[in-house]
Amino acid sequence: MRKLIPILILALVSTACIKLDALIYSPYTDIEAYLLDDYEGRQEIAVGDDYNIPDSNLHVFTLSSDPEGDAKEIYALYVGDISEIATDTVILYLHGNTGHLDLYWTRIKLLANAGHKNRFGVMAIDYRGFGLSEGPPTEEGLYEDADAAMKWLKENGLTDDRLVVYGYSLGGAPATELTANPRTFRPSKLMLESPFASDEVMVQDGSGMSLPGDYFSSLEIDNAEEIKKVEVPFFWIHGTSDAFLSIETHGEVVFKNYQGIYSEAHRVEGGEHSNVPEVMGYDPYLEVVLEFLER
């Protein structure tokens, strides 16, 4: 038994850094180009031709994102007239944990058409490790990559008061983080769709017990706490049938913890994690989005 003790200690020390953080990201990297309307793989939601974007309003390009010396080239998509960034409201769309920009293309098109045809400029990125963007995904990479998008928008004339950040699912983490703790921009509004509260809630939902999140993960994503620092108007939308991130344990907690100047909640009856705009109906969805953007 005495011989076993050092072995056990060694095993403990040598394995103590193994965590499951990387499993939170599920990027697809099997593409050679962004196909957008021509993409035939799985898409989050399907929309009709009414929401098509003219080619002149499509801009795919790369950005350099450099969190503490870990510079990576990431891909970005801007939908709209770049010359209008200096004068109009822009939505920064931060996507979820799966896939790449093509999967979210229909969602991006919807937002660009809120109000009327091609009304809003929408910026979206593939985080490092997603789609054609370089490198493995990391938590700091999420924040830095989203901030790189903000820097590009700033260089093109955007000001704080016209930037609205929209985070879907995992995208709620950089959206909330960069609104709560501004870097390049102090966004004017925050919109979260189906956000998660924290990895600790995932752990406790999964186990049914009060296990701390950091038993299994060194992720520090904590939207439920960061949202307390957000003062700008807040829009939250979540499906009541979300079997992935429960509305009760995730979304409601984030919404309840918001302490800023204005908030609105949209609990979409029957909506699941990936289809809230579809279940709500595209027109009603865009109506509430537009009302919030213009208020």
Residue ranges in contact with another protein by CB under 8 A: 8, 11-12, 15-20, 23-26, 97-98, 197-198, 200-218, 224-225, 241-249, 253, 257, 273
The distance of closest approach from Cβ of residue 80 to another protein in the complex, given in angstroms and rounded to an integer, is 30
Which is closer to another protein, CB of 162 or CB of 273? Answer: 273
Cα separations (Å) of 172 from 36, 65, 104, 143, 178?
Answer: 23, 19, 14, 11, 10
Strand partners, 124: 77, 93
Residues whose CB is less than 8 angstroms from the CB of residue 50 and which lie 6 or more positions away in sequence, other chains included: 113
The token pair at 92 is 């920064």
Beta-carbon neighbour count of residue 182 at 10 Å? 15
Which is closer to another protein, CB of 8 or CB of 46? Answer: 8
The distance of closest approach from Cβ of residue 119 to another protein in the complex, given in angstroms and rounded to an integer, is 31
The distance of closest approach from Cβ of residue 262 to another protein in the complex, given in angstroms and rounded to an integer, is 22
Which is closer to another protein, CB of 43 or CB of 188? Answer: 43
Which is closer to another protein, CB of 152 or CB of 168? Answer: 168
The distance of closest approach from Cβ of residue 8 to another protein in the complex, given in angstroms and rounded to an integer, is 7
Pairing relationship of beta strands 72-79 and 58-65 according to DSSP bridges: antiparallel
For residues 259 and 197, give the distance between their C-alpha atoms in angstroms, rounded to a whole number.
15
The distance of closest approach from Cβ of residue 7 to another protein in the complex, given in angstroms and rounded to an integer, is 11
Strand partners, 121: 90
Strand extents, DSSP E, 31-111: 58-65, 72-79, 90-94, 98-99
Which is closer to another protein, CB of 14 or CB of 56? Answer: 14
